[in-house]
Structure 1
Amino acid sequence: MATKENSTKKLTLISLVLMIFASVFGFPNMPRAFFLMGYGAIPWYMLSALTFFIPYAFMMAEYGSAFKDEKGGIYTWMRKSIGPKYAFVGVFMWYASYIVWMVGTSSIIWIPLSNAIFGSDTTSSWALFGLKSTQVIGILGILWMALITFIATKGLEKIKKITSIAGTAVAVLNVFLLIGSLLVLILNKGNLAQPIEGLHSFISSPNSSYGSPVAMLSFVVFAIFAFGGIEVVGGLVDETENAAKNFPKGIITAALIISIGYSLGIFACGIFTNWTGILSGKDVHMGNVAYILMKNLGVSLGLAMGTTTETALVIGSWVARFVGFSMFLAFTGTFFTLAFAPLKQLIEGTPKELWPAKMTKVKDGIPKNALIIQCVIVILMIMLVSFGGDEAAKFFSRLQLMTNVAMTLPNLFIAGAFIAFKNNDNIKKTFVMFKTKTKAKIATCSVLITVGFANIFTIIEPWYTKGDISSTIWMIAGPLCFTVVALIVYNRAEKKQNINNEEAA
């Protein structure tokens, strides 16, 4: 009976794939990519998948399979490959970035919900009891964070159900995009709304802002970051059913689906959307382009089926509502995963001496006290941003700049530890994707160069293109600040408890 009960609480292969899908695959990335580069986005996405995402996913699969019985996720992977201090700096920087992500997302998440209810983004006009819209959204964000934490403390089973629903919602949204665009293509007898004018269409952008080589390079950064987040599920290896087999299979399956799905989705956008006719207006921007584009799918579908313009507009409005609801579910699933998985890795993987005793207590597989403390920190930051005035808003903007690079640097830490992992014959490797050390080195270099380039360009882009040296400085300051804090925390505990000796024992 105990075995049966435990197995029901484990993540199945399908649940794992859906969780990865919900965490990594951002549906808005496709409309945004088409908005920025048109069909020209496809080669860059394919290049990013080949040089970063797929080899990185294979690394995750090898790590996860080798440490299938270990808790702590990416911290454990890096610690056993290189050392505890290296691992702690990487995982601390990674976790701190997700704290800031939760604060920002607690405000953004209401935009798709507004689209689902009202058919457009009305959040800027929300007011209650004399409070401004930013304050109302702040209160909603506080309640949202409290609800997320309350449900998360009930155990992995609750999180699994919600992320599975979210992953399914994202999948349904993508199926609708692909089938809807294919139907439009058939009904329009193969005519594309955005015509293909030879190879030129897959190299240049219809967006005049992306005509220069520097602007194109900035899009490469966008494409690489669209694939980020797969390392989040590293802490769920020990929660996966038949982990040695299902974890690498789940990662590889999700990686291939996501890589192919992005390219197909971008191409599908051109089937029903003429860039100049729909996306060239001044009111179209990165925040609303997904809703505008998908509303246009509904309108195009209606017109292709022979309905009146009025009926087609109604169809488009309901499609926009459907997209808003689906994206709200997707955000919800991502929020649950990122509120739980990074913290789980930080608490269960790192030495207990680093944290107050109450934070390290795990019940029902959940670090409940740590979740509550995390919730309090996020709520305090939301209150500061929402009710602190302009100076608080500027502070948070700087904090976001500090995490722009810090959020992706752990990818370099994890990839950088992979060679040491492959060279360590004491680590039993139950799943091997890179059959030789030479192939492993090539994959590692590919990931390091790709992510390194993306981060370097992200740092210099504001200064180089806009003369905004302040943003560049804050992005450099972020990783340095997080590294210093991590080293202070670690060195204090190391002196008191002699962590290195305990780790080696």
Structure 2
Amino acid sequence: MGEQHSKQKLTLIPLVLMIFTSVYGFANIPRAFWLMGYSSIIFYVLAAILFFIPYAFMLSEFGAAFKDSKGGIYSWMAESYKPRFAFIGMFMWYISYVIWMVNVGTSIWVPLSNIIFGEDKTQTWSLFGLNSVQTLAILGILFVIVVTWIASHGIEKIKKFTSVGGAATALINLVVLACGVVILVKNGHMAEPLSFQAFLHSPNPGYQNPLSVLSFLVFAIFAYGGLEVVGGLVDETEKPEKTFPKAVLLSAIIIAVGYSLLIFIMGAFTNWDFAFQKFANGEVTMANVAYVALNNMGYQMGLAFGAADHTAMIVGQWFARYVGISMFLALGGAYFTIIFSPLKQLIEGTPKELWPAKWSQVNKHGMPVHAMKWQAIIVIAIIAVVSFGGSTASKFFDILVAMTNVSMTLPYMFIAFTFLGFKKKTEIKKPFELYKKPWQAKLAVVVVLLVVGFANAFTIIEPAIHGDIAKTLFSIAGPLIFGIIAFVMFTRYEKKYGKQG
């Protein structure tokens, strides 16, 4: 039995691929170039220096110190500060991932449509006479059932799918990098002219004022989110005190460098005015910009090799299909990690008395299968209600999304804050330390708190500035409501069992 368990332990490369699929989003690169051009690089570098790298260092220390903990970020925060505080942060964070699962369960079919048709045709899909929204809901429900069933068969199964997703994400970046260099060599110049000003100002007319520039900084910060998802995998890792910090640090460097380098290489084949007009008829959105950019890359590759315009257009369509394959596999890989890891941290880390008795039971593969089933039921129920409940249900889901906007990233502040307690507690054995001096840890915590605090404040205020007061109110209400629910749950547990949090 022990031998079988050791075979299932995560080694460095699978763990790096899991982190990669959880954090790195290829779509963030063409989105950044579309919004800010070359000037987006400065914001991505700033976000990496001020948030992602210091935050990754904290998680590395936590992971090494709590190498035997099954509760991930909850255990880290509870041991370093207070269980009640940890539970509130954990509960908010978990709820936001439930909404993520609902969103991705129905939107993952857009890249699949691009694979099959070379464009998004999901709005025309129909099963059993249902409309497109309901059809995507049925597909989403089936997807949740299948992923939950596969994931319930153990970490080995999850590792296989996340490795495919991670490899697909890595490969698309290598393809874009290689094609960009080939096009640059063939043409002898960057498609988007280089200048000092180009690295400071956006070519996008909608991103000229300070407010829009600040909104992009928030976008860049959140492009690095999700690292804490793998916190629940520390106890599933081989030699975790060494492997986990190494994987986090390696991933942080690859992701930060990858974003900046790929944004730059976009300029080798993307003339901002030409590409976004020709391939989207001026209708570029955050949802389709990756397909528009890769379609243009294929077109430019065809022209660079002397192909006729019509042939170059066909090459472009095949590149758009390729990005569909990569994004489908990457989202699928991320789904396997997220359907298991946040729930594992919630159920195995927090006091078991908070949950129905069966939820903490694990099957022969070491998975909390009852909790996973209930999670699937909740996700499926939300998908069904939203898709079949008409416009009122659809508006309700928009409200839920607004409520979880801040809930997903506010726990970054919780984790950073508890790092101070973690460093002070000498009884916690720390086999791996990057912040060796107290002032270094304090500086890192203050910087992360200020950066994420600003990003969340701006996320809350921005809709109101544009006249959407309701979205601002719901963004505030979400963390408050989820926080109150968590507070009440934990207080009831304390009173019932006479424990202090």
Displacement of 1:3 = 4.5
Alpha-carbon distance in structure 2 between the residues aligned to 1:339 and 1:257: 25
Alpha-carbon distance in structure 1 between the residues aligned to 2:128 and 2:8: 44
Which of 211, 220, 223 aligns to 2:220? It is 223
Which of 246, 249, 252 aligns to 2:246? It is 249
Matched, 1:29 2:18: no
Which of 272, 277, 282 aligns to 1:275? It is 272
Alpha-carbon distance in structure 2 between the residues aligned to 1:276 and 1:176: 23
Aligned to 1:470: 470
Aligned to 1:259: 256
Aligned to 1:351: 351
Q: Deviations over 1:143-176 (max 9, x none)?
A: 0100011001111110000000100000000000
Displacement of 1:308 = 1.9
Alpha-carbon distance in structure 1 between the residues aligned to 2:128 and 2:13: 45
Displacement of 1:282 = 2.7
Q: Which amino acid aligns with 2:251?
A: A
Matched, 1:185 2:195: no
Q: Which amino acid aligns with 1:101?
A: W
Alpha-carbon distance in structure 1 between the residues aligned to 2:65 and 2:234: 10
Aligned to 1:175: 174
SS in 2 for 1:417: helix
Ranges in structure 1 where 5+ consecutive residues have no aligned partner? none
Contact residue 64 and residue 237 of structure 1 kept, 8 A: yes
Aligned to 1:57: 56
Matched, 1:126 2:125: yes
Aligned to 1:195: 193
Matched, 1:8 2:7: yes
Q: Deviations over 1:433-490 (max 9, x none)?
A: 11101000111111101000000001000111x1111110000000000000001111
SS in 1 for 2:206: helix
Superposition TM-score, scaled by structure 1 size: 0.97
Alpha-carbon distance in structure 1 between the residues aligned to 2:242 and 2:435: 16
Aligned to 1:336: 336
Displacement of 1:83 = 1.1
Query: 1:136-215 alignment to 2 at 5 Å?
Result: 136-189=135-188, 191-197=189-195, 199-215=196-212
Alpha-carbon distance in structure 1 between the residues aligned to 2:264 and 2:288: 19
Displacement of 1:80 = 0.3
Contact residue 351 and residue 499 of structure 1 kept, 8 A: no
Comparing 304-313 and 164-173, the one that deviates more? 304-313
SS in 1 for 2:339: helix
Aligned to 1:367: 368
Alpha-carbon distance in structure 1 between the residues aligned to 2:395 and 2:5: 48
Alpha-carbon distance in structure 2 between the residues aligned to 1:462 and 1:263: 28
SS in 2 for 1:141: helix
Contact residue 22 and residue 330 of structure 1 kept, 8 A: yes
SS in 1 for 2:340: helix
Alpha-carbon distance in structure 2 between the residues aligned to 1:499 and 1:164: 41
Displacement of 1:70 = 1.1
Aligned to 2:383: 382
Which of 232, 237, 240 aligns to 2:237? It is 240
Q: Which amino acid aligns with 1:76?
A: S
Q: Which amino acid aligns with 1:184?
A: I
Superposition TM-score, scaled by structure 2 size: 0.98
Alpha-carbon distance in structure 1 between the residues aligned to 2:128 and 2:58: 52
Alpha-carbon distance in structure 2 between the residues aligned to 1:413 and 1:262: 26
Alpha-carbon distance in structure 1 between the residues aligned to 2:12 and 2:83: 31
Q: Deviations over 1:21-79 (max 9, x none)?
A: 00000000000000000001000000000000000000000000000011100000000
Alpha-carbon distance in structure 2 between the residues aligned to 1:32 and 1:171: 18
Ranges in structure 2 where 5+ consecutive residues have no aligned partner? none
Aligned to 2:114: 115
Alpha-carbon distance in structure 2 between the residues aligned to 1:205 and 1:308: 32
How many residues were matched structurally?
A: 497
SS in 2 for 1:69: coil
Q: Which amino acid aligns with 1:406?
A: S
Alpha-carbon distance in structure 2 between the residues aligned to 1:317 and 1:276: 20
The CA RMSD over aligned residues, in Å, is: 0.9
Alpha-carbon distance in structure 2 between the residues aligned to 1:499 and 1:273: 60
Q: Percent identity?
A: 54
Aligned to 2:432: 431
Contact residue 347 and residue 360 of structure 1 kept, 8 A: yes
Contact residue 39 and residue 205 of structure 1 kept, 8 A: yes
Q: Which amino acid aligns with 2:409?
A: T
Aligned to 1:449: 450
Q: Which amino acid aligns with 1:407?
A: M
Q: Deviations over 1:361-386 (max 9, x none)?
A: 12222110000000000000000011
Contact residue 78 and residue 417 of structure 1 kept, 8 A: yes
Aligned to 1:460: 461
Alpha-carbon distance in structure 2 between the residues aligned to 1:408 and 1:46: 19
Matched, 1:94 2:93: yes
Matched, 1:38 2:75: no
Q: Which amino acid aligns with 2:418?
A: A
Comparing 426-435 and 308-317, the one that deviates more? 308-317
Aligned to 2:306: 306
Alpha-carbon distance in structure 1 between the residues aligned to 2:442 and 2:134: 50
Q: Which amino acid aligns with 2:431?
A: T
Query: 1:63-78 alignment to 2 at 5 Å?
Result: 63-78=62-77
Aligned to 1:416: 417
Alpha-carbon distance in structure 1 between the residues aligned to 2:495 and 2:116: 56
Comparing 489-498 and 320-329, the one that deviates more? 489-498
Q: Which amino acid aligns with 2:378?
A: I
Alpha-carbon distance in structure 1 between the residues aligned to 2:276 and 2:322: 20
Alpha-carbon distance in structure 2 between the residues aligned to 1:12 and 1:306: 46
SS in 2 for 1:228: coil
Displacement of 1:5 = 2.3
Aligned to 1:491: 491
Please list every run of at least 4 consecutive aligned residues from structure 1 whose deviation after the TM superposition is greater than 4 angstroms.
none
